[in-house]
Amino acid sequence: MNPTATTSTVEAPPTTREGGAARRRTVDHSTRGLTTYQLSDEHQKLSDQVRDFADSVVAPAAYEYDTKRELPYDIIAAMGEMGLFGLPFPKEYGGQGKDYLSLCLAVEQLGRADQSIGVTLEAGVGLGAMPIWRSGTEEQKREWLPMLAQGKALAGFGLTEADAGSDAAGTKTTANLENGQWVINGTKQFITNSGTEITKLVTITAVTGESTRPDGSVKKELTAILVPTDTPGFTVEPSYDKVGWHTSDTHPLTLTDVRVPEANLLGERGRGFANFIQTLDEGRVAFSALCTGAAQGCLEEALRYSKTRNVFGRNIGSNQHIAFTIARMQARVHAARLAYYDAALKLVAGQPFKMEASLAKMIGSEAAMDNARDATQIFGGYGFMNENPVARHYRDSKILEIGEGTTEVQLMVISRELGLDTL
């Protein structure tokens, strides 16, 4: 941490349409945990543009595609044309040359209208393209990043298995090097963006060797490998019947004697664990923005309804219980947004952000789930109808407390960052 104060800035999106211009707060950045939360004009413009797109294009189609359980390729293509999939990547690779905060702002605004669309962007960039940008060779970047950054293709990140995910040591997928090729066998579960019509690549983690520790225990060598989806033996299994995120693409994968060139190694052999930890740390920041957007969407719907729904001759918002409930919803959104801003700014500044990412993910996911529950209660019977956005948020938000590291995993990370040795 640089002990001198910095002047990094971010701009905060408006809390609601009715609220007008965002309030701006400036805080000194000279000590850990304090930063400047004022968005630049460029960041604010991006946030507003994506918000308008979410309101005019994403929201009106959300119920239809949720019911069909289909990924709207026309909307994904429009996002690609806007440059959203390339926000944090250099222009030389087809990106927009922006920063990671820009991605987070876009994800937040999309998640406010439809979490499935928000997570398609978040996973497409954070889990699909970012590992290639961070760890790939120049040849790998030239081959894959332009199509991914322009939204012409999607990539997935194959980490989770039946007995592995948070516990990477449980990984059973293997990759053996034979005659200059990796021969991969195993299965993966819950892989986002893995089976769309435009999915071209999945990065998988596999055991490429084992060693014996001094205490006699076995240490697995984990390696990340790029697997094009048209490789023989790579099978996308039928999609899951999920509680929520119906529009988001999620599949199990089976790899049977999948052969890819040795050059498809992503990063160094045996560095797969370190690579995916970095991927997850960064991904949690953008995932936290998705959580914040969901919490914000519930707040806006509840606030609108409380001002227009009349009972006993007055709107329900004049009832102190309803008003106080909405006030708590606003408090959660505020805390979640500040938490992910803090993590994003540290990431952009090249400062340690592991604990901040976990804090933001935990705070944001709990805010989304709590706000979804409260918004549904405020709507009453209407909140139980699937065409109501708050009903979709209620179904969608639970996975926010599970995906990209459960709440319990975030608590484990935070406690370890505080110097507590937990199991």
Is the pLDDT score of 166 beyond 80?
Answer: no
The domain limits of the chain are 41-154, 155-270, 274-417
Q: pLDDT tier at 212 (50, 70, 90 boundaries)?
A: confident
Q: Please provide the CATH number assigned to the domain covering 155-270.
A: 2.40.110.10
Residue 225: CA atoms inside 13 Å, Cβ hemisphere, count?
A: 29
Q: Which two tokens stand for residue 53?
A: 């797109």
**Sequence-separated (6 or more) residues with CB below 8 Å from residue 294:** 111, 112, 115, 118, 368, 371, 372, 393, 396, 397, 400
Q: pLDDT tier at 213 (50, 70, 90 boundaries)?
A: confident
pLDDT, position 423: 65
CATH topology of domain 274-417: Butyryl-CoA Dehydrogenase, subunit A; domain 3 (1.20.140)
> Do 171 and 225 meet the contact criterion of CB atoms below 8 Å apart?
no
Q: Mind telling me the catalytic residues? A: 404
Q: Which two tokens stand for residue 216?
A: 């006699």
Return the residue matching tokens 């605004």. Answer: 109
CA 236 from chain center: how many Å? Answer: 22
Between 221 and 2, residue with greater pLDDT: 221
Q: How far apart are CA 178 and CA 210, in angstroms?
A: 17
Average of pLDDT values for 348-359? 96
Between 11 and 152, residue with greater pLDDT: 152
Q: How far apart are CA 138 and CA 144, in angstroms?
A: 10
Is the pLDDT score of 302 beyond 50?
Answer: yes
pLDDT, position 330: 98
The reply to whether 274-417 shares the fold of 41-154 is no
Q: How far apart are CA 262 and CA 300, in angstroms?
A: 51
Average of pLDDT values for 186-213? 95
Burial of 215 (C-beta count, 10 Å sphere; 0-12/13-18/19+): exposed
Between 11 and 413, residue with greater pLDDT: 413
Q: How far apart are CA 32 and CA 16, in angstroms?
A: 30
pLDDT, position 170: 87
Model's pTM, two decimal places?
Answer: 0.89
Is the pLDDT score of 31 beyond 50?
Answer: no
pLDDT digits 0-9 by tens, 66-106: 999 999 999 999 999 999 999 999 999 999 999 999 999 99
CA angle 366, 123, 226 (to 5 degrees): 140
Q: pLDDT tier at 205 (50, 70, 90 boundaries)?
A: very high
- Given CA atoms 5, 415, 366, 292 in this order, what sign does their dihedral have? positive
Count of helices and strands (H, E) across the chain: 12, 10
Q: How far apart are CA 283 and CA 143, in angstroms?
A: 23
What's 41-154's CATH class? mainly alpha
pLDDT, position 68: 96
To the nearest whole percent, how much of the chain has pLDDT over 90? 83
Q: How far apart are CA 176 and CA 265, in angstroms?
A: 12
Q: How far apart are CA 254 and CA 270, in angstroms?
A: 22
pLDDT digits 0-9 by tens, 225-255: 999 999 999 999 999 999 999 999 999 999 9
Q: How far apart are CA 231 and CA 182, in angstroms?
A: 12
Q: pLDDT tier at 299 (50, 70, 90 boundaries)?
A: very high
Q: Across all residues in the chain, what is the average pLDDT? A: 90
Residue whose C-alpha is closest to residue 296's, from 113, 46, 123: 113
Q: How far apart are CA 385 and CA 375, in angstroms?
A: 13
Average of pLDDT values for 173-190? 97
